[in-house]
Structure 1
Amino acid sequence: MKASQFKKLLTAYLKNKLNKTDKNLVQNWYDAFGESEAGVPGLGNQREEQLLRDDLLNRIQVQLNQPEKPVYRLISFRNIAASIVLVAGAGFATWFFIAKSAQEPKTAVNQFQVITTISGQMKKLILPDSSVVHLNANSRIRVPHRFSLKDRQFYLEEGEAFFEVTKDKTRPFIIHSGQLNVRVLGTSFNVRSYRRLSDIKVAVTTGKVRVSGNGLIYGTLIPGQQLTYHKANKAVQLSEVRPSDNQAWINGKVYLEKAGFEELALTMNNMYGVSLKNETVNKVKYQYNLTLRSDRSLEETMRLICAINGHHYKKSGKEILIY
């Protein structure tokens, strides 16, 4: 979003002239600072709302004076296809500024910003070193407000992220995720580390990536290689993947190959926000090879899933039962 557009949005907000949609955009932007998981405080209270306006104004003014600071945007799975169609006229997504870091003391290298996503939501972040991080649904990361002079530490505490790391030979980029550490200088790769899944996966698109953990170096990956770490027995498996598939989820496509039911259920929750259950006898043995796409309706996707093994489904609220 251009600075002029942002100023216009803020002016309308201060004059109470925003419609509900634009007011929600401001709320989502403020909530993205990580200070309130429940939403922006004070929108229902006149005095607190005025304080919120003053805080917003201060943060945006700081950001407009320092345009090189980090930014990130929100992307809805269900809006990806529509956004691509409307990109020429309205822009692909709304950008939200992390101006908070501009107000931190320069010595506060170890202070972190926590950023999360929910079902059906993705975020794109631009870090202080110009590296780009795409955060998948139901994910949580910790990013320092300022990188240190010797390295760039990043924590993927839950979920999935695709990284486009700016090259810096003097400061390696290190991602901590579960039992694995991923070290790069400048490259693009994907890390999937959900607690509910039995493995962690690292797949490389460009450059080289070194993966280690438990005091061991598991290997240096090149484009087209994927490392799978099995949590239960700490075993490591190398396989080949199509580099272009690593970030396909950013554009609303998820390729499942020999996926178990838990992986399928996680993907459905990320994409549609539903809880998938299975009452079939052999659910543990089933493996799914299919492509899930966010431009398909939930009903279309469920018919496809059930057709694989000749099952049926019924939906109650946000819960779907396969039988």
Structure 2
Amino acid sequence: MSLSGEAYFDVRHSERSPFVIHTGKLSTTVLGTSFNIKAYPDRQHIVVSVSTGKVKVSYDNVVLTTLVRGQQVKVNSRLNTVEEKKIAPAEVAAWQQGNMSYDDEELGDIVADLERLYNVKIRIDNGAIRALKISTSFRREIGIEQALQVLCRLTDATLRQSEGWYIIQ
């Protein structure tokens, strides 16, 4: 199976027919688990998070890691970097309950998520803040303007609207 976007899986392991999800060069092999994969084409990272069980994560046919409950791997295919960390299992697919949760995420990736989520256009005019890493969370119901105001406060930026665009500067 190939994935472009984000999906939550709850799969029972089968030795005879392994379930493998391909996201570009990254492959996630199910070893009996429930987990989330975030692999949007406009994001720099592919993120695999496990809520129960175990998955094997490979890149370009090389095994990177095996993840168990409460673990996450973030792979940057452009820079060939891999980050592993522990997470709360409840946060694995927080988006399913309307929770937007970001832990040490780049502003540019968060903005790309918000564009998809709210179907809006957002531009970051200050290139220096695009790569800033942010940790924050909010409910989807707060709306795009409030979400962007939170991000602007965290990055000492300002928000304005012009010709259908939200502009962070």
Same fold (TM over 0.5): yes
Give the secondary structure class of the aligned counterpart of 2:141: coil
From 56, 61, 65, give the equivalent of 1:210: 56
Distance 1:314 1:183 in 2: 44
Report percent identity of matched pairs.
27
Residues 297, 215 of structure 1: CA spacing in aligned structure 2 closer, same or farther, 3 A cutoff?
Answer: closer
> Would you say 1:294 and 2:146 are equivalent positions?
no
Q: Is 1:155 equivalent to 2:2 in the alignment?
A: yes
**Hey, what does 2:73 align to over in structure 1?**
227
1:178 matches 2:29: no
The number of aligned residues is 169
The 3 A distance-change label for structure 1 pair 256 and 209 is same
Q: CA deviation at 1:261?
A: 2.1
**Per-residue CA distance 1:15-48 (angstroms, 9 max, x = gap):** xxxxxxxxxxxxxxxxxxxxxxxxxxxxxxxxxx
Normalised by the length of structure 1, the TM-score is: 0.49
CA contact (8 A) 1:212 1:219 kept: yes
Partner residue, 2:151? 305
Q: Is the 8 A contact 1:265 1:275 kept in 2?
A: no
- Corresponding residue for residue 278 of structure 1: 124
1:242 aligns with 2:88: yes
- After superposition, give the CA deviation of every residue in 1:135-163 in whole Å (9 maximum; x if it has no partner): xxxxxxxxxxxxxxxxxxx111x111111
**238-247 vs 288-297, which deviates more?**
288-297
The alpha carbon displacement at 1:249 in A equals: 0.6
From the two aligned structures, give the one with the greater helix fraction: 1
For 1:289 and 1:236, the matched residues in 2 are separated by 19
Q: Are the counterparts in 1 of residues 50 and 72 from structure 2 also a CA contact under 8 Å?
A: yes
Q: Which of the pair is proportionally richer in strand?
A: 2
Q: Could you report, residue by residue, the CA deviation over 1:245-295 in whole angstroms, capped at 9, with x for unpaired residues?
A: 110011111211222121121121122111211223632453222113211
Aligned mates of 1:233, 1:283 — CA distance in 2:
19
Query: How has the CA–CA distance of structure 1 residues 203 and 281 changed in structure 2, closer, same or farther, with 3 Å as cutoff?
Result: closer
SS state of the match for residue 195, structure 1? Answer: coil
Structure 1 unaligned regions, length at least 5: 1-153
State the AA in 2 paired with 1:227. Answer: V
Q: 1:223 to 1:283 in 2, by over 3 A?
A: same
Shift of the 313–189 alpha-carbon distance from structure 1 to 2, 3 Å rule, reads same
**By how many angstroms is 1:223 displaced?**
0.6
Which residue in 2 is equivalent to 1:135?
A: none
How far apart are the structure 2 equivalents of 1:185 and 1:309? 40
Shift of 1:317: 5.1
* 1:253 aligned onto 2:99: yes
Deviation at 1:318, TM superposition (A): 4.0
CA distance in 1 between counterparts of 2:134 and 2:55 reads 29
- Measured after TM superposition, the shift of residue 174 of structure 1 is 0.9
**Kept in 1: contact 2:44–2:109 (CA 8 A):** no
Which residue in the other structure is 2:38 paired with? 192
- What's the CA shift string for 1:163-190, capped at 9, x where partnerless? 1113434321111111111111421011
* RMSD after superposition: 1.8
Separation in 1, partners of 2:18, 2:66: 14
* Structure 2 counterpart of 1:130: none
